Amino acid sequence: MVKARNIIVVTGKIKAIRENRQSATIIIENQGEKVTSYPIFSVYDTDLIRGFRVNMRVQITAHAENRKSIDFDDSVTYIKDFVVDKMERQKRMLAPYLLNEKISEYEGGFSRDRNTCLMIGKVFHVYHPNEDFTVVTLQIPSDSRMNQADVVCFKRQAEQAAEFVPGDTIAAGGYLTSKLEDREETMVQKQSIVARDLEYVSGLI
């Protein structure tokens, strides 16, 4: 048995910070995969982004949740949200090894951008429209609340994920993607957790 996990770690350069009275969004340029992506994160504790500015290199630790939204006609939709839990400046590669030297920790060369997701929870729903594509919705407990996260699976992982049934406990390792899609002449940012590795687990602690 293992602990539930809902962890996203992304490093990269801040492209934009948009703040209002109660929350903010932050856009990161991430080159951890073959195609550069620009994931958007929500910040509900704006103290987390104090002192940060555009073009700074940062490491973000976040979690996924499907946020419930009620439209004007009382219809219910669920919005994918990636919520920042921690944000810190990314240090240069040599910083941990030159502790006694008078150098800048943040100016220099950096390791390749990181883009990793770890989700461990119970299967809530499986959507499998064809053999090459499956979406698994996980319920992941976090303190007193229950978060939901969608994990997108392609090809070999799609076939494996299609065998899951509600109630199964699984682990999914992957990465975060972000791209613009044209929907009815409106550009919409689509973000997904894509699986690279899937496995059954015996249960949650």
Res 185: pLDDT: 62
Question: What digits encode the pLDDT tens for the residues 115-169?
Answer: 999 999 999 999 999 999 999 999 999 888 899 999 999 999 999 999 999 999 9
Task: Using the structure block, give the residue that is written with the tokens 């920042």.
Answer: 84
Q: Given a cut of 90, is residue 100 above it in pLDDT?
A: no
Share of the chain above pLDDT 90, in %: 68
> 138 exposed, middle or buried (CB, 10 Å; 0-12, 13-18, 19+)?
buried
CB atoms within 10 A of CB 19: 12
Q: Given a cut of 80, is residue 186 above it in pLDDT?
A: no
Indicate the average pLDDT of the chain.
90
Alpha-carbon gap, residue 55 to 96, rounded angstroms? 22
How far is residue 3 from each of residues 13, 57, 61, measured CA to CA in Å? 31, 31, 18
Res 184: pLDDT: 62
Instruction: Work out the average pLDDT over 58-69.
Output: 90
Res 149: pLDDT: 94
Full 3-state SS string of the chain:
CECCEEEEEEEEEEEEEEECCCCEEEEEEECCCCCCECCEEEECCHHHHCCCCCCCEEEEEEEEEEEEEECCCCCEEEEEEEEEEEEEECCCCCHHHCCCCCCCCCCCCCCCCCEEEEEEEEEEEEEEEECCEEEEEEEEEECCEEEEEEEEEEHHHHHHHCCCCCCCEEEEEEEEEEEEEEECCEEEEEEEEEEEEEEECCCEC
